[in-house]
């Protein structure tokens, strides 16, 4: 395993982690969307690196696919979800400093949980796995603590990215069909969420999800 | 299929067709005598039939081809059964087609068309007769099937000719408990299917007590002749079947003119015997309420079922 | 030339064509789509023929899209049924559909429905079977829901159907999971040997799940409740397909899994099948006798017939367990013949009922009547179907009923005590069912078609269009041919029940012969009847005077009869209902309205009588009530906040991690 490969891998993983943590910090939705696009690029780079190292052409093609999907298509759809210009996550359930502390705690949990995995196969690839799990957990956390509908979508994308990172690092390539399936799932989910958000906007006037409590009878 | 077997079959059907109205006449005459009346004579039903055949049939407005077709189909199926069931001989041309279920089904076809004709008239009488008749037919079918199935294990077949032939040759079966159960069940079935007391009163004109009469109320002329004739033929069929199953002596099991003659005479004698018992018995029975008839038929079903179980266990024990 | 590949490909082609044809404009859609689905059915029929003559297996496609096809005589019989029914139903549908049932979705769903049923009959592996099964369920659900905008009953029926078909699907999935995990084989061809070494407990588990899952599709009691709700509400050509073909696939599954894959089993398997089959047959026919809705009557009759087929399969299992292959072969033959005949006559009956519905807008027998003169062809075709359903010659139902009774009776030779008890009970049940079925169909035809119309809608009925008559006529022709000359179909059934060294059922053109000695000659019976009937008719006509028509009916002298005086379906069935009222439990309601001023004088009396499905009211409603109560309690867990829900997930995940790490 060449030094360059390890460096490139760690760089990509670190970039992904950084963008995920920043999601907890940034308030403006338009910036968040760009952040997600950047994460998509970093994910594509990660996959491309693994492909380059393993000389796997299929995986390389997959990297391009991921780039197209996560760096371009998904951010485009996300922009359509947020209907108001200048929309921002103004009042999260857990404030920003506490969120960042929580992110650190989640990272610790991920490292603890993936220790047996790393002990099993102590390669550079597998050692980067906790990053993926952290991102997934951060995504869940975003779902849990952010009010806006668009934040829910971002959280969902984070979870998906995190799972993808874990998959690529531990197995060096998921079967094409599985990846296609999960990509389709994500796409469909976001389309549905987009439609739902617009409806919520139309009914309630804004996309604060706590307003949905009014619907309970 | 030899010429002789065809002749046997023809003799049988002509005999049954001719004897039907005479049997009805005998029953009425017996009843009359017991009741202290002179009676109209044994041949009166024949005289009635001939008179009706010459009369004009009238179909009411609003009825359809079902009404017109029913007497013909009824007659056709009744005569077909008369050919199939072994009355005078087990060696007729159609003997190997006389499966029990086929015979029961043909009889049922006759009942069904008559019921449909009753409904086709559109009167309350017709509907009432049809409804009662079909209730009885539905409950009779399991009774008759079970009763005769109970007799099939020793013969190893459900073909009536084979069953009767076996009973002729193996007399020990006649006194078995299975036989006794079956004869009672079959008598009840005969009374129900042929529309005699206590199930139905063939001489009534009160709508409350009518079953068969209500269905044929709209018929006249040759339609009515065919229906009455067919119903007498069906009485002969059922009584004859019961008689041949329990007193099988005399049925021709070989081909031959003498055997055939003996078969004919024996059949007429047995028919007369059973008819006499029925006729005199009828004088002393009152008609059941319609809602007690299912109990009677349920009793027949239970008897038949017990007979089947006994037959199975007997065969298992011996075989 | 590989016929198998050609016909299977043909099916695929016509499926696609049918789907595309649905996109045509409405005025051309029915004809084109009907043509395509009809040809799809015909190709399916051809596939069945290939399955009889050259049984084969093949793999279509590759990789993940690999479809494993198996053509063998057993599947071929069902392909036959589905193909011919599809042909007749498509022809009929061209004239029948209007409004919602003529929409694009309906036609696409119909095409896919037929295609998926054929896929199930051709399935060579578990995956293909399951995919076909579920698509069959989904497409038929869409078809049942066709008129959901018009009535609440349709929506409710669709809901029941959806719930129960998915439940059945889960059971079948569970069964397949058990089966594949036991033997490791997912191809049907190799499953029998793979499973034969499984533990008895596992095999019994597979059997019970198969009985539950396939029994639900076949409409056995107590999981039949969707049948009398869904079949009446669907458009009539769909009802015909569902009742004739789809329900038969339940029996197909039972035979495939229990007889072929599992093979031998303990005696209680056969007894269980006999019990469920007998109860279904009896209960189904009793409900049919008292039903006043024509299509509901037909739906319950389907339960009855499937119950009879299950009785036959149960008897076969008993014989197999007693090492008597020939009676077992006869019993399986009886089950298959019952299914084949039922498909055709039930399809015919549903199509005819649909014709009546289209002409009068009514399904209620109490308001029909007089149709024999207003819709003569439809009436005659219905009469043929009713004759078959009542198991009377010359229709095909008679032959299958005969075969069933023979298979039960011939088992008595050398049987064990248990069998000697069970088989007579089975014969009694079958005989009672047969008698009641006669009553049912006399009612259906007699009240629905004969005499005078009981309502204005029935009075204004007109004959159905040519396409509908043609579709019905095709089925009627098949019914009569199978009733008189069942040679061909018996030959194919014999192929499906091959026992080395013996032929349980032999059939020539004039006679059916069983290995135990019994025989039946339908043409002889019919010939005798027709000959004597014609003879007598000619004789009396020659002697007598011409007929006079048009006279007044006897009305006790002086009363002009109105249609209100005719017997209705309810009154016709009343004696039978009274006999069986412990089972049927009719509900009666008498409401008395007194005069306002004095409560001793009565102004109005109202009487209502209903016969509900006892299984539904005593068994399902309490279960559903419990479920609803539990759901109500569970609402406390769901306050409406999305964040709380995500919190549940998050918490569970963290707990899981904690457990894993420790």
Identity of the residue in C401, C544, C571 whose CB atom sits nearest the CB atom of B53: C544
* pLDDT single digits (tens) A136-153: 999 999 988 888 878 888
Residue B319, pLDDT score:
39
B137 vs C530: CB contact, 8 Å cut-off?
Answer: no
Count other C-beta atoms under 10 Å from residue C392's C-beta.
25
Residue of A nearest to C652 (CA): A140
Three-state DSSP class for residue A98: helix
ipTM above 0.90, yes or no: yes
First to last CA, chain A: 60
User: Is the CB of residue C90 less than 8 Å from the CB of residue C22?
Assistant: no
Residue C308, pLDDT score:
96
C654 vs A109: CB contact, 8 Å cut-off?
Answer: yes
CA atoms within 13 A on the CB side of C614: 15
DSSP C565: G
User: Tokens 């012969």 label which residue?
Assistant: C513
Whether A contacts B, i.e. 3 or more CB pairs less than 8 A apart, is no
Three-state DSSP class for residue A82: coil
pLDDT higher than 80, residue A68: yes
User: Tokens 């076969």 label which residue?
Assistant: C316
Taking contacts as CB-CB distances below 8 angstroms, the residues of chain B near C413 are 153, 156, 315, 319
Question: Of A25-39, B114-128, B162-176, which range is least confident?
Answer: B162-176
pLDDT higher than 90, residue A10: no
Give the contacts of A137 (CB within 8 A, at least 6 positions apart): A106, A109, A110, A162, C653
Q: Strands C512-514 and C519-520, how do they pair?
A: antiparallel
Count other C-beta atoms under 10 Å from residue B91's C-beta.
23
Q: Where does the pLDDT of residue B287 fall: very low under 50, low under 70, confident under 90, or very high at 90 and above?
A: confident
C640 vs A215: CB contact, 8 Å cut-off?
Answer: yes
* pLDDT single digits (tens) A157-175: 999 999 888 888 887 666 7
CA C468/CA C88 separation, integer angstroms:
9
Neighbours of chain B (3+ CB pairs under 8 A): C
Strand stretches in C542-620, DSSP E? 548-551, 587-594, 602-610
pLDDT higher than 90, residue B23: yes
Q: At what angle do helices C325-360 and C466-484 cross, to 10 degrees?
A: 160
How far lies A79's CA from each of A21, A29, A82, in Å? 20, 9, 6
Q: Where does the pLDDT of residue A216 fall: very low under 50, low under 70, confident under 90, or very high at 90 and above?
A: low
User: Is the CB of residue C442 less than 8 Å from the CB of residue B130?
Assistant: yes
Using the Cβ of A120 and the Cβ atoms of chain C, whether some distance falls under 8 Å is answered with no
How far lies C212's CA from each of B208, C127, C207, C332, C528, in Å? 48, 20, 9, 20, 45
Concatenated DSSP letters of B38-72: ----TTHHHHHHHHHHHSPPEEETT--HHHHHHHH
Three-state DSSP class for residue C607: strand
User: Is the CB of residue C381 less than 8 Å from the CB of residue C476?
Assistant: yes
Q: Strands B58-60 and C548-551, how do they pair?
A: parallel
What six digits make up the tokens of C564?
């209100």
User: Is the CB of residue C425 less than 8 Å from the CB of residue C337?
Assistant: no
First to last CA, chain C: 65
Residue C64, pLDDT score:
64
Residue of C nearest to A92 (CA): C643
Three-state DSSP class for residue C502: strand
Residues 611-650, chain C: which have Cβ within 8 Å of A?
A: 638-643, 646-647, 649-650
Residue C546, pLDDT score:
84
Using the Cβ of A119 and the Cβ atoms of chain C, whether some distance falls under 8 Å is answered with no
User: Is the CB of residue C462 less than 8 Å from the CB of residue C359?
Assistant: yes
* pLDDT single digits (tens) B183-225: 889 989 998 888 888 888 887 777 777 888 888 888 988 899 9
C608 forms bridges with which residues in the sheet? C589
CA A214/CA B194 separation, integer angstroms:
76
Count other C-beta atoms under 10 Å from residue A65's C-beta.
16
Closest CA to B149 of B304, B316, B273: B304
Taking contacts as CB-CB distances below 8 angstroms, the residues of chain C near B106 are 393, 525, 529
Using the Cβ of A141 and the Cβ atoms of chain C, whether some distance falls under 8 Å is answered with yes
CA atoms within 13 A on the CB side of C407: 37
Using the Cβ of B157 and the Cβ atoms of chain C, whether some distance falls under 8 Å is answered with yes
How far lies C361's CA from each of C368, C437, C457, in Å? 10, 26, 7
C653 vs A140: CB contact, 8 Å cut-off?
Answer: yes
Torsion of CA A202, A208, A214, A215, to 10 degrees: 60
User: Is the CB of residue C346 less than 8 Å from the CB of residue C354?
Assistant: no
Residue of C nearest to B129 (CA): C572
Three-state DSSP class for residue B189: helix
B109 vs C428: CB contact, 8 Å cut-off?
Answer: no
Identity of the residue in C414, C423, C445 whose CB atom sits nearest the CB atom of B116: C445
CA B245/CA B103 separation, integer angstroms:
15
> B262 vs chain C: nearest CA distance in angstroms?
26
Q: Strands C587-594 and C548-551, how do they pair?
A: unpaired
CA C364/CA B226 separation, integer angstroms:
35
First to last CA, chain B: 34
C520 vs B75: CB contact, 8 Å cut-off?
Answer: no
Identity of the residue in B83, B141, B309 whose CB atom sits nearest the CB atom of C435: B141
Give the contacts of B194 (CB within 8 A, at least 6 positions apart): B231, B234, B235, B238, B239
Pick among C408, C436, C532, C538 to test the B interface (most B CBs inside 10 A)? C532
* pLDDT single digits (tens) A164-206: 888 888 876 667 777 778 888 888 888 888 888 878 778 777 6
Instruction: State which residues of chain C have pLDDT below 50.
Output: none
Contact pairs from chain B to chain C, CB under 8 Å: 281
**Can you give the residue range of the structural domain that contains A156?**
3-215
Count other C-beta atoms under 10 Å from residue B46's C-beta.
18
Residue of B nearest to C419 (CA): B312
Taking contacts as CB-CB distances below 8 angstroms, the residues of chain C near B64 are 372-373, 450
Residues 164-183, chain A: which have Cβ within 8 Å of C?
A: 177
Count other C-beta atoms under 10 Å from residue A175's C-beta.
11
pLDDT higher than 70, residue B318: no
C392 vs B291: CB contact, 8 Å cut-off?
Answer: no
Count other C-beta atoms under 10 Å from residue C643's C-beta.
19
Using the Cβ of C23 and the Cβ atoms of chain A, whether some distance falls under 8 Å is answered with no
What six digits make up the tokens of C586?
């009719």
Taking contacts as CB-CB distances below 8 angstroms, the residues of chain B near C516 are 156-157
State the average pLDDT over residues A4-28: 88
Long-range contact set of residues B49-53: C-beta below 8 Å, sequence gap at least 24: B49/B21, B49/B225, B49/B228, B49/B229, B52/B220, B52/B221, B52/B222, B52/B224, B52/B225, B52/B228, B53/B221, B53/B222, B53/B225, B53/C540, B53/C543, B53/C544
Closest CA to B137 of B245, B210, B242, B211: B211
How many secondary structure helices (H) and strands (E) does chain A include? 10, 0
Count other C-beta atoms under 10 Å from residue A67's C-beta.
17
C507 forms bridges with which residues in the sheet? C512
B319 vs C534: CB contact, 8 Å cut-off?
Answer: no
Residues 31-90, chain A: which have Cβ within 8 Å of C?
A: none
A210 vs C641: CB contact, 8 Å cut-off?
Answer: yes
Give the DSSP H/E element, type plus range, for residue C21: helix C3-21
Distance from CA of residue C18 to its chain's centroid?
25
Taking contacts as CB-CB distances below 8 angstroms, the residues of chain A near C650 are 140-141, 143-144
Using the Cβ of C659 and the Cβ atoms of chain A, whether some distance falls under 8 Å is answered with no
* pLDDT single digits (tens) C27-57: 888 888 888 999 999 999 988 888 888 888 8
User: Is the CB of residue B228 less than 8 Å from the CB of residue B221?
Assistant: no
Taking contacts as CB-CB distances below 8 angstroms, the residues of chain C near B126 are 451, 567
Torsion of CA C109, C115, C120, C121, to 10 degrees: 140
Taking contacts as CB-CB distances below 8 angstroms, the residues of chain C near B290 are 575
Identity of the residue in C64, C650, C661 whose CB atom sits nearest the CB atom of A144: C650
DSSP C600: T
Neighbours of chain A (3+ CB pairs under 8 A): C
Count other C-beta atoms under 10 Å from residue B266's C-beta.
20
Whether C contacts B, i.e. 3 or more CB pairs less than 8 A apart, is yes
Does the pTM exceed 0.95?
A: no
B291 vs C575: CB contact, 8 Å cut-off?
Answer: yes
Give the contacts of B19 (CB within 8 A, at least 6 positions apart): B236, B268, B271
* pLDDT single digits (tens) C422-460: 888 899 999 999 999 999 999 999 999 998 899 988 888
Using the Cβ of A149 and the Cβ atoms of chain C, whether some distance falls under 8 Å is answered with no
pLDDT higher than 70, residue A83: no
Count other C-beta atoms under 10 Å from residue B38's C-beta.
8
What HEC string does C276-327 produce?
Answer: HHHHHHHHHHHHHHHCCEHHHHHHHHHHHHHHHHHHHHHHHHHHHHCCCHHH
A140 vs C661: CB contact, 8 Å cut-off?
Answer: no
Classify each residue of C199-211 as buried b or exposed e, where b means 16 or more C-beta atoms within 10 Å of its C-beta: eeeebbbbbebbb
């Amino acid at each position: 395993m060449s030094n360059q490969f390890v460096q490139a891998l760690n760089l990509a993983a670190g970039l992904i982690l950084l963008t995920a943590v920043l999601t907890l910090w940034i308030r403006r939705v338009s910036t968040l969307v760009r952040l997600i696009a950047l994460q998509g690029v970093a994910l594509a780079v990660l996959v491309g690196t693994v492909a380059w190292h393993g000389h796997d052409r299929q995986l390389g093609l997959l990297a391009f696919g991921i780039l197209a999907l996560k760096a371009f298509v998904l951010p485009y759809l996300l922009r359509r979800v947020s209907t108001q210009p200048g929309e921002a996550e103004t009042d999260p359930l857990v404030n920003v400093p506490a969120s960042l502390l929580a992110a650190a705690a989640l990272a610790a949990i991920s490292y603890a949980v993936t220790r047996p995995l790393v002990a099993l196969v102590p390669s550079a690839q597998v050692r980067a796995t906790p990053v993926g799990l952290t991102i997934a957990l951060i995504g869940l956390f975003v779902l849990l603590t952010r009010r806006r509908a668009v934040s829910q979508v971002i959280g969902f994308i984070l979870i998906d990215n995190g799972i993808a990172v874990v998959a690529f690092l531990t197995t060096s390539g998921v079967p094409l069909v599985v990846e296609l399936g999960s990509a389709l799932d994500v796409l469909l989910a976001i389309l549905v969420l987009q439609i739902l958000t617009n409806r919520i906007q139309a009914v309630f006037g804004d996309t604060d999800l706590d307003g949905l409590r009014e619907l309970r009878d | 299929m030899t010429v002789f077997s065809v002749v046997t079959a023809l003799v049988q059907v002509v005999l049954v067709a001719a004897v039907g109205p005479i049997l009805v006449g005998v029953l009425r005459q017996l009843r009359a005598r017991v009741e202290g009346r002179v009676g109209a004579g044994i041949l009166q039903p024949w005289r009635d039939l001939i008179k009706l055949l010459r009369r004009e049939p009238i179909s009411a407005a609003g009825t359809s081809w079902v009404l017109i077709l029913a007497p013909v189909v009824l007659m056709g199926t009744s005569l077909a059964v008369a050919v199939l069931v072994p009355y005078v001989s087990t060696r007729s041309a159609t003997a190997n087609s006389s499966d029990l279920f086929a015979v029961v089904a043909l009889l049922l076809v006759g009942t069904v068309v008559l019921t449909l004709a009753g409904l086709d008239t559109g009167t309350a009488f017709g509907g009432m007769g049809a409804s009662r008749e079909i209730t009885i037919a539905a409950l009779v079918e399991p009774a008759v099937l079970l009763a005769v199935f109970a007799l099939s294990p020793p013969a190893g077949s459900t073909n009536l000719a084979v069953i009767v032939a076996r009973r002729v040759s193996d007399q020990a079966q006649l006194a078995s408990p299975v036989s006794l159960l079956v004869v009672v069940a079959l008598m009840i079935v005969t009374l129900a299917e042929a529309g005699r007391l206590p199930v139905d009163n063939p001489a009534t004109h009160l709508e409350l007590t009518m079953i068969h009469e209500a269905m044929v109320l709209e018929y006249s002329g040759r339609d009515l002749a065919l229906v009455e004739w067919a119903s007498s033929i069906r009485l002969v069929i059922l009584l004859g079947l019961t008689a041949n199953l329990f007193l099988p002596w005399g049925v021709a099991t070989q081909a031959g003119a003498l055997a055939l003659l003996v078969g004919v005479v024996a059949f007429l004698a047995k028919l007369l015997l059973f008819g006499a018992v029925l006729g005199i018995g009828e004088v002393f029975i009152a008609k059941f309420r319609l809602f007690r008839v299912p109990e009677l038929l349920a009793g027949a079903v239970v008897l038949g079922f017990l007979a089947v179980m006994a037959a199975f266990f007997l065969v298992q024990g011996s075989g | 030339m590989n016929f198998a590949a050609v016909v299977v490909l043909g099916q695929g082609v016509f499926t696609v064509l049918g789907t595309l044809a649905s996109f045509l404009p409405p005025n051309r859609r029915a004809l084109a789509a009907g043509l395509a689905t009809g040809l799809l059915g015909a190709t399916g029929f051809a596939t069945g023929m290939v399955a009889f003559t050259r049984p084969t297996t093949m793999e279509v496609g590759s990789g993940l899209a690999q479809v494993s096809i198996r053509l063998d005589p057993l599947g071929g019989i069902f392909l036959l049924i589905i193909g011919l029914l599809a042909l007749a139903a498509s022809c009929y549908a061209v004239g029948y559909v209007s409004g919602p049932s003529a929409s694009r979705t309906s036609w696409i769903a119909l095409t896919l429905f037929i295609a998926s049923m054929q896929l199930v009959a051709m399935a060579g592996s578990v995956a293909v079977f399951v995919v076909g099964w579920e698509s069959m369920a989904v497409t038929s659900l869409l078809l049942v829901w066709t008129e959901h905008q018009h009535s609440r009953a349709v929506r409710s029926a669709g809901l029941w159907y959806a719930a129960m078909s998915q439940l059945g699907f889960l059971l079948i999935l569970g069964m397949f999971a058990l089966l594949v995990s036991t033997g490791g084989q997912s191809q049907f061809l190799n499953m029998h040997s793979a499973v034969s070494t499984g533990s008895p407990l596992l095999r019994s588990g597979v059997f019970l799940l198969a009985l539950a899952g396939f029994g639900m599709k076949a409409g056995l009691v107590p999981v039949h409740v969707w049948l009398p709700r869904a079949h009446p509400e669907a458009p009539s050509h769909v009802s015909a397909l569902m009742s004739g073909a789809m329900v038969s696939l339940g029996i197909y599954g039972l035979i495939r899994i229990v007889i072929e894959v599992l093979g031998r089993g303990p005696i209680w398997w056969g007894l269980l099948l006999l019990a469920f089959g007998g109860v279904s047959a009896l209960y189904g026919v009793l409900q049919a006798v008292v039903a006043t809705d024509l299509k509901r009557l037909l739906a319950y009759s389907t339960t009855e017939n499937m119950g009879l087929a299950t009785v036959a399969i149960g008897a076969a299992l008993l014989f197999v367990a007693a090492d008597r292959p020939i009676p077992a072969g006869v019993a399986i033959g009886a089950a298959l013949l019952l299914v084949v005949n039922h498909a055709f006559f039930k399809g015919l009956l549903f199509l005819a009922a649909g014709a009546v519905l289209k002409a009068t807008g009514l399904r209620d027998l109490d308001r029909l009547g007089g149709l024999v003169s207003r819709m003569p062809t439809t009436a005659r075709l219905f009469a043929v179907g009713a004759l078959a359903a009542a198991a009377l010659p010359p229709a095909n139902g008679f032959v299958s009923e005969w075969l069933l009774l023979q298979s039960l009776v011939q088992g008595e030779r050398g049987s064990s005590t248990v069998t000697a008890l069970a088989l007579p009970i089975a014969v009694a049940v079958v005989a009672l069912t047969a008698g009641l079925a006669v009553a049912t169909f006399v009612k259906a035809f007699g009240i629905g078609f004969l005499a005078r119309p009981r309502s204005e809608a029935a009075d204004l009925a007109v004959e159905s269009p040519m396409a509908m008559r043609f579709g019905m006529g095709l089925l009627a022709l098949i019914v009569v041919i199978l009733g008189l000359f069942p040679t061909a179909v018996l030959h194919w059934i014999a192929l499906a029940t091959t026992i080395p060294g013996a032929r349980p059922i032999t059939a020539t053109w004039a006679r059916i012969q069983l290995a135990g000695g019994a025989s039946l000659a339908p043409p002889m019976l019919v010939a005798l009847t027709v000959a004597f009937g014609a003879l007598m008719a000619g004789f009396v006509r020659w002697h007598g005077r011409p007929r006079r028509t048009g006279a007044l009916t006897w009305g006790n002298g002086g009363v002009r009869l109105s249609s209100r005086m005719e017997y209705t379906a309810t009154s016709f069935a009343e004696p039978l209902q009274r006999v069986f009222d412990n089972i049927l439990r009719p509900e009666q309601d008498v409401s008395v309205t007194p005069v306002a001023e004095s409560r001793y004088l009565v102004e109005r009396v109202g009487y209502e009588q209903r016969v509900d499905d006892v299984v539904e009211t005593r068994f399902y409603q309490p279960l559903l009530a419990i479920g609803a109560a539990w759901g109500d309690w569970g609402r406390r867990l769901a306050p409406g906040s999305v964040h709380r829900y995500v919190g549940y997930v998050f918490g569970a995940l963290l707990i899981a991690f904690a457990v894993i790490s420790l």
